[in-house]
Structure 1
C-alpha cells in the first residue's frame, strides 16, 4: 500500500467530501485520517489515504481531475513518521487577540526543537464582553532531552510578554 497526503480546497458546498471520498473509494483507496473545516466560504482539509500500488497513478490522475469541478487537490507521497524520541505535550493558550501571537510562540518552540503536531486557533468574543479573545490548542512533540520545566519557564515568560494565559500538560 502507498500512502498519500492530500490537501484539498474548494468553495464550500454540500457533497464536497462525499465526492472526494467516492474518488478515493473508486480506486481502492482507504481514507485513514483527516482534518477538515469550512472557513470564509471555502472548505479546506488535509487527509491521508492508503491506496494499492497498482491503483496509485489512476487515483492521482482522478484526484487531479477534480479540478474540473472546482476541487483543488495537492498530493504528496506519505513519509516516515518521526522516531519515538519525543514526549507528547498539549498546549492551551488564551488571551486578547493581537497580531503576532502564533509567530512568537512558534518561534520559541522551533528554537527549542519542539515540533508542532497540530494547531487549532480561533478568535471569538469574550463571554461577558465584546472583547475578542484568541484561543489556540496545540499538540507538541517535545524532544526527550528538553526539560519540561525549562520549556514551561520559557513559555511562561513569553506568555507574560504577550499577555496571554498558557497551560502545558502531558497527555499521559
Structure 2
C-alpha cells in the first residue's frame, strides 16, 4: 500500500535547496508524481505530489521536517482521494489587460460565484507591443461543474472583460 502526500515548500532560493528534498524522498522510496516549482524575487516555492510506501511514510515525513529552518518552510498533507472529487469539465481562461489593482479579485469572484475551481493560475507582466505600457496577463486552468451553462458563463466573462477593459477568452475541453 502507498500513501500520496502533497509537499509545499517556500524558502530563500539557493543552490542545492531542492536537491536536499530530492535526496530525502529518494532515501525513503518516494515516487514523484507531479511538481510545480518557481523562483520569484529570490524566493523559491514548490508543490510536489509524492507517493510513498505506507511503511515509510512517517519516516519520510520526519526526514522532510528535519529540513525546516528559519529560511525554509515545509508543509506536508495527505492528498484527498481523486475518486472523491466531483466530476467536472475542464476550462481554460486567458486574460490580457492594462495593469491595475483588483483584476485577480474580479476574476476569482466571478469564478467562485459559479462554483468554478482554479486548478492552475499563472500571471505575469508584459510590455505592450505598441504602447510599451505594462500589461497584466493571466492564464488559468479551471475545473467547472458539469451542470454549468458555459454560454451564460461566457456572457458573464464578456461583461467583466468590458468592465475591466480586458481581452478575456474561455475555452472548453481542456483536460484536467
Instruction: Tell me the TM-score range normalised by the shorter chain.
Output: over 0.9
Give runs of ≥4 in structure 1 deviating > 6 Å.
none
- Partner of 1:33, secondary structure, is strand
Q: Separation in 1 of the partners of 2:6 and 2:57?
A: 12
**Please, what TM-score do these two structures have when normalized by structure 1?**
0.94
* Residue 77 of structure 2: aligned partner: 76
Compute the RMSD of aligned alpha carbons. 1.5
**Please, what TM-score do these two structures have when normalized by structure 2?**
0.92
8 Å contact kept, 1:92–1:167:
yes
8 Å contact kept, 1:10–1:70:
yes
* Residue 25 of structure 1: aligned partner: 26
Say yes or no: does 1:146 pair with 2:148: yes
Unaligned 5+ segments in structure 2 are: none
Superposition deviation, residue 69 in structure 1:
8.3
* Residue 130 of structure 1: aligned partner: 132
* Residue 87 of structure 1: aligned partner: 89
- Partner of 2:67, secondary structure, is helix
Q: Separation in 2 of the partners of 1:68 and 1:110?
A: 35
Q: Separation in 2 of the partners of 1:141 and 1:164?
A: 22
**For each residue in 1:56-101, what CA deviation from the matched residue of structure 2 results, as whole angstroms up to 9, or x when unmatched?**
1111111111114833211111112254521101111011111111
| Alignment length (residue pairs) | 172
Q: Separation in 2 of the partners of 1:84 and 1:6?
A: 23
* Residue 105 of structure 2: aligned partner: 103
Superposition deviation, residue 128 in structure 1:
3.2
